[in-house]
Amino acid sequence: MLFASHYGTPEPWTLLLPALRQPGTWLQRRVGLALLYFGLTALPFAWVMGSGPAGRGGAALLMLWGTALLIMIVLARYAFYPSAVLVRLTQGAVLALSVLAAGHPVYPALLAVAFFGLIWKSRQRLSTFRHD
């Protein structure tokens, strides 16, 4: 949730010039950088959680959930690129789906559909800015 505010505001389109050549590779770098920061921030807490009553399984599950959430938040940023309102609404929907995923068996399926939909939409949206 801390990272959602950082990834909510779209950058100016002039900073997207490297993305216009290869949107897929550029998105992978962005997601990789976000996961690096997430790992550096969350691994100490996961270690403490793993040594407590939750155990290693609980810590691994929490890290997996956080990783999936962060990837989807980054992809939502570029799926509706220039519109900050749509970016934040999509990120809010992703957060709500990920929190509700434990409550009903339909929500994990919706989360998986949203995950692959955001991958497709973010690549498509970035490719519309290409002027080759």
pLDDT in tens, the chain (132 residues): 555 555 556 666 666 666 666 767 777 888 888 899 988 998 888 899 888 888 888 888 888 888 888 888 888 887 887 777 888 888 888 888 888 877 788 888 888 888 898 888 888 887 776 654
Interacting residues of 43 by C-beta distance below 8 A, sequence separation 6+: 63
Residue 115: both structure tokens together: 């995950």
pTM check: above 0.85: no
pLDDT at 36: 92
Both ends of the chain: CA-CA distance in Å?
Answer: 37
What's the CA angle centered on 104, arms 89 and 73, to 5 degrees?
A: 30
Cα 118 versus chain centre, distance: 9
Q: How confident is the model at residue 7, as a pLDDT?
A: 57
The whole-number pLDDT of residue 26 equals 75
Between CA 126 and CA 85 the distance in angstroms is 17
